[in-house]
Amino acid sequence: MPIPSGDDTHKLIRALGRAGFKMAQIFIAMAHVVDRSIRHLYRCIQVAFCGVLPAMSLSKTPPLERPWHTTSLVHISRWRLDCPSSQVWDLLSSPEHWPQWWQQLSRVDILKPSGASDCTTHALLHWRSQMGLSCRVHCQTTRCEQDAHGRGEIESHAQGCFQGMGLWVIEPYSIRGVDITYRWEVRLHKPWMRLFAPALRGLLSWNHFNVMQAGAQGMARQLGCHSPLVSNWSGGVR
């Protein structure tokens, strides 16, 4: 039996990766179909037993009346960059410029610009996932604080595909070095996401951390830093 060469092995790995990616896309497309079917069935049941269509949409139905569990995600990423914290602060406090260095962010629409005395902003972020799906998230910055030592925090509330909060923490560890921690704690909003959340736990974490990895690398390039050190933690789906 012939032994495959290194090139053949690499081709096989790439082919398996493409096949896995296609299977993930098919699975998510099927999830969308199931989501629509559940919505239709829910409305049919409402008509059959209540005689009228519900006034509220399915996404606004009280949690105890939903046919699936409410799920949440807790993801934490930490980037270490060799650059001053002031440069990182300027970049993170200006979301309208994020698409210039964050590859998965296709567009940012500023719905309400920040005031002259603070950095609170209401923006609509258009994300592209590693799986080829798009997601729009409304982010409203509710708090941004920076002290004289360069430590800062930027907190925002999210609505859209996900609902919850995100928190950036900027901590200098030297004159030209900074640790950036991002905590993303949200609930899954789309019904198909909630329905398949236990099965999609690994896929959701993988996608989020790939987006964060791209963000760290994009920020390093934008600021002219060395390649960042990135660490990730996940609280999974509950």
Q: What is the pLDDT of residues 97-134, one digit of tens each?
A: 999 999 999 999 999 887 656 677 899 999 987 667 78
Q: Is the pLDDT of residue 37 over 70?
A: no
Q: Is the pLDDT of residue 88 over 90?
A: yes
Residue 89 is which amino acid?
W
Predicted pLDDT of residue 64: 35
Give the helix ranges, DSSP H, for 51-84. Answer: none
Cα gap 177→82, rounded to integer Å: 4
Average pLDDT of the residues in 179-194: 87
Q: pTM surpassing 0.85?
A: no
φ, ψ of residue 163 to 5 degrees: the values are: -130, 125
Side-chain-facing half-sphere of 97: CA atoms under 13 Å: 10
Cα gap 184→76, rounded to integer Å: 6
- The second-level CATH assignment, the architecture, of 70-237 is 2-Layer Sandwich (3.30)
Burial class (CB within 10 angstroms; exposed 0-12, middle 13-18, buried 19+) of 51: exposed
Predicted pLDDT of residue 224: 93
Per-residue pLDDT of 129-184, as tens digits, reads: 766 778 899 999 999 999 989 999 999 999 988 899 999 999 999 888 999 999 99
pLDDT level of residue 27 (50, 70, 90 thresholds): low
Give residue limits of the domains in the chain. Answer: 6-58, 70-237
Give the helix ranges, DSSP H, for 51-142. Answer: 85-92
Q: Return the higher-pLDDT residue of 49 and 56.
A: 49
Predicted pLDDT of residue 57: 38
Q: Is the pLDDT of residue 76 over 50?
A: yes
